[in-house]
Structure 1
Amino acid sequence: MTGPKNLESRTKHVKATWGKHCHKVLYMSSVKTDFPTVELNVSEGRENLYWKTIRALQYIHQHHLDGANWFLKADDDTYVVVENLKYILSKFDPEKPLYMGRRFRPFISQGYMSGGAGYVLSKEALRRFVKGFHTGECTHFSTIEDMALGKCMETMKVEPVDTRDMKGRQTFHPYPLDHYVIRRQRRPRPWHMIYDYYPPIEGPNCCSDLVVSFHYIYAVQQYMLEYLTYHLRPYGYIYRFRPDESVEVDNKTNKGA
């Protein structure tokens, strides 16, 4: 999700970093450009963000439904570790109605996924979302994009997935790493910790070794995370996480999500 004013300051840096690791990237905007961007019939502005998301998902359903099993919505200031996302998705069936990301608690009975952290719809979830607007079961009842989409997911019986790792650490993050990894002195909890569906964790155990996303990541930080993700390695370090041992545990956890 992007717009004309962000192509130079944000979107080109997504294209040069984590966008290269995707199977296919579509840059959704209000105008068509040679960047390239897809022109959607919607105006820019935060008040139109949910309309933009609706139109984008309808466009993907019409033109790209058979091109992928999973569909990630991300903002132009989100950083995504695509390989870690693929690992999480590998344990699930895209023909089931599934919806995953950073799960928030308020407003919707089953919760909803943070828009900034990015969220993923299975192929069946995308079908149901588009069907919901075709039948009128889903409507543009709010300008709060992620919450409104979450309501449609609940209405269309799309199941939210627990994307925490086997140690209960989060993989999708609506803020940069420093908001989580530094244990703060006692204070009123910030809104995003109050919203968390699962018990929030601050400090070094906040975040999974297989992090998927961080939000509010701008130009320079995109390249920093790209380097830290794909190039920095401590010499002689033996990786302590064994993905093959976590699959059974994660599946048991996710069945109860």
Structure 2
Amino acid sequence: MNFVKQHRQRLELLLMLLLGLICGSCLSKLLQLARVEFYELYASQQFTADTVSNSDNSLMQPNNNSNTEQRILCIITLKPKGNRQQDIARTWGRRCHKLLFIRPHARKPKLSIVGLAKSRTDSSSWARTRANLQHVHNRYHKKYDWFLMVTDETYVIMENLQHLLIDYAPEMPIYFDSFSWLHTQQGSLSAAGGNVFSREALRRFVDWAHDNSSICSNHNYGIRHVEIARCFRNVGVVAGKSHDEHGLPLFVNHLSNITEGYCSKSAISFQCVDASCFYQMEYVIYRLRAFGLS
């Protein structure tokens, strides 16, 4: 009888240990996934006219006393049939404070710890951009200092972005236009890039411009970087310098520009057309070491 009782106690102990290991593993996985979020949004929204307050450009002085790392939320718009989220999360996305992926083409919105961002409009449409910015403002405005919004064909060197932002405070109404048109090898044009904007710029866009059709277009069409620049300008958000001291672009460089000598030494982002590019950039920048060089 004692033997049966001892055997039962051992089995209970083993079951408890096994259950603890399973729970610990699941908790660890959830914590890893918490910093990478997917969500869904409605593409169509109703907009009403509103008044805009006067802008205050006195905040645009450099913040030379800022030595702390800026909290950056990285927002990546995925192609309808794209599957770049894993490639980004495994490479440059690891250095974001949080990753937020947006995928188009869904009918109803849902929101969970790990969901999927979808909409009826494509990821580059102006209507979708408006909906995305409103969602980001409502959920993350007070949690982050800066907001990086790029396409899934962009590789970002986060350390260089932090270096650019160190002289600016998130209370400044400022943005950096990293959108550009790039020539492909076939000679056609392809778009890559996005924007970097401060917490104050996002607040002004949503509070002052989003529902005011007289200063910010509420049409479902429009070129994203053109429309967002117009809206920012109309609420007193100024465009920051997106080139280095030699006039070379900091954002969305083509890899071929490296050999041509048109690439800044402080470049922040590059266009990556295929998935292998993300891992090649990761290796060259962060793993490759030349003996004798610091």
Q: Following the alignment from structure 2 to structure 1, what is the Cα–Cα distance between the partners of residues 194 and 249?
A: 13
Q: Following the alignment from structure 1 to structure 2, what is the Cα–Cα distance between the partners of residues 215 and 104?
A: 10
Tell me the TM-score normalized by structure 2.
Answer: 0.62
Which of 64, 71, 94 is the matching residue for 1:20?
94
Query: Normalized per residue, which structure has more strand?
Result: 2
Write out per-residue CA displacement over residues 143-190 of structure 1, whole angstroms, 9 at most, x where no aligned residue: 2111111111111121101132233322102x5211x234xxxxxxxx
> Which residue is equivalent to 1:85?
161
Does the alignment pair 1:163 with 2:242?
Answer: yes
The higher radius of gyration belongs to 2
Cα pair distance change 1:127/1:101, threshold 3 Å: same
- Give secondary structure in 1 for the equivalent of 2:284: helix
> Which residue is equivalent to 1:139?
217
RMSD, aligned CA: 2.6
Q: Following the alignment from structure 1 to structure 2, what is the Cα–Cα distance between the partners of residues 58 and 73?
A: 13
> Which residue is equivalent to 1:54?
130
Q: Following the alignment from structure 1 to structure 2, what is the Cα–Cα distance between the partners of residues 33 and 127?
A: 22
> Which residue is equivalent to 2:142?
66
Cα pair distance change 1:162/1:37, threshold 3 Å: farther
Tell me the TM-score normalized by structure 1.
Answer: 0.71
Shift, 1:65, TM fit: 0.5
Does the alignment pair 1:150 with 2:229?
Answer: yes
Cα pair distance change 1:13/1:4, threshold 3 Å: same
> Which residue is equivalent to 1:215?
271
- Say whether the 8 Å CA contact 1:181–1:207 is kept in structure 2: yes
Gaps of 5+ in 1: 106-113, 183-202, 239-257
- Say whether the 8 Å CA contact 1:27–1:36 is kept in structure 2: no
- Say whether the 8 Å CA contact 2:80–2:122 is kept in structure 1: no
Moved more, 164-173 or 213-222: 164-173
> Which residue is equivalent to 1:29?
103
1:167-182 aligned at under 5 Å gives the runs 167-173=246-252, 175-178=253-256, 180-182=257-259
Flag as ranges the 4+ runs of structure 1 deviating above 6 A: none
- Give secondary structure in 1 for the equivalent of 2:98: coil
Gaps of 5+ in 2: 1-76, 182-189
